[in-house]
Amino acid sequence: DKFTSYEERAKRHPNPAAKALLETIVRKKSNLCVSVDVTGKADFLNIIDIVGPYVCLIKTHVDIIEDFDASIIDRLQELSKQHDFLIFEDRKFADIGNTVALQYSSGVHKIASWSHITNAHPVPGPSIITGLSSVGKPLGRGLLLLAEMSTKGSLATGSYTEEAVKMARAHRDFVIGFIAQRSMNGVGKDTADTTDDDFLVLTPGVGLDSKGDAMGQQYRTPEEVLRDGCDVIIVGRGIYGKGPSVDIQSVREQAERYRSAGWSAYEKLL
């Protein structure tokens, strides 16, 4: 089927978080999301300040930060405005509706109050969407379902993936897309007509220099994943390495390198 530009999709998208993400991608010529998986507050904020100009989206795991306090979120929101990116807390909710609504709204992290996008495993069934939507939809947030995973031996395949896409289709007002490895438009449909599907696909497991890690992660290049219909590349250690210390100059260079690789892969499809 026909390839549609980010720009055209931004104009049509009814969900405010999805629309804002698509508009940011176009404005910044960046389909790069950096996953900031570091445990110290200073490193966390430094990396975001450096990569900010090159990304459409910053992905967080706030529960790994050792010295977490509310000022981190204030600063993250300032950086989001200053550098023009959205925020995605990669919380991977997976419980009953009532519990996920509490985990999303409350606790130390109050994710719904600052994260434009979050995600959930479809394993509990549609009630997980109802629970998260009761909190996030009034705030204009968007949800991604984990339809596939990047890891070796992932169980999220076949009919599990198809059921995830059907769940999303039934809750289009809040579910804006997937964490997956390829386009999910038309997946699990009886007809070949995919015109109503415009799911965003955000793809982790992206690296230019490595094929994987020692714990089951698998990497493909920006070009490979864009060709398979992904919209946003998620890169973590490819940008800031695995070491205990962060090399500012190298982080900047890698961010621009991945931004440019992601964008030229997109332009080839136009």
Q: Build a one-symbol-per-residue string for 81-110: x at contacts with ligand UP6 by CB under 6 A, - elsewhere.
A: ---------x--------------------
Is 217 known as a binding-site position?
yes
Please select the residue that binds ligand UP6; options are 132, 235, 251, 255, rule is CB under 6 A.
235
Rounded CA-CA distance 214/130 in Å is: 37
Does 32 participate in binding ligand UP6 (rule CB under 6 A)?
A: no
Q: What is the CA radius of gyration of the chain?
A: 17
Nearest-CB residue to ligand UP6?
236
Rounded CA-CA distance 114/74 in Å is: 9
Is 1 known as a binding-site position?
no
* C-alpha triplet 77, 141, 70: angle, nearest 5°: 35
Rounded CA-CA distance 69/67 in Å is: 7
Q: Which is nearer to ligand UP6, 87 or 234 (CB)?
A: 234
Cβ atoms within 10 Å of 73's Cβ, excluding its own: 19
Which residues, numbered 59-78, are part of the site for ligand UP6 (CB under 6 A)? 61
Please select the residue that binds ligand UP6; options are 26, 37, 121, 123, rule is CB under 6 A.
37
Is 91 known as a binding-site position?
no
Candidate segments 10-18, 74-82, 99-107, 232-240, binder of ligand UP6 by CB under 6 A: 232-240
Do the strands 200-203 and 175-179 form a parallel or antiparallel pair, or are they unpaired? parallel
Catalytic site positions: 90, 92, 95
Query: Considering the complex, what minimum distance in angstroms separates the CB of residue 172 from ligand UP6?
Result: 22
Query: Considering the complex, what minimum distance in angstroms separates the CB of residue 142 from ligand UP6?
Result: 17
Does 43 participate in binding ligand UP6 (rule CB under 6 A)?
A: no
The answer to whether 196 and 166 are in contact (CB under 8 A) is no
Tokens encoding 101: 């609504």
Q: Build a one-symbol-per-residue string for 161-200: x at contacts with ligand UP6 by CB under 6 A, - elsewhere.
A: ------------------x---------------------
Is 59 known as a binding-site position?
yes
Does 222 participate in binding ligand UP6 (rule CB under 6 A)?
A: no
- What one-character DSSP code corresponds to residue 261? H
- From residue 56, how far is each of 2, 43, 148, 231 by CA, in Å? 24, 20, 22, 11
Rounded CA-CA distance 238/217 in Å is: 12
Please select the residue that binds ligand UP6; options are 32, 79, 112, 149, rule is CB under 6 A.
149
Cβ atoms within 10 Å of 246's Cβ, excluding its own: 18
Sites of contact with ligand UP6 (CB under 6 A): 35, 37, 61, 90, 149-150, 179, 204-205, 217, 234-238
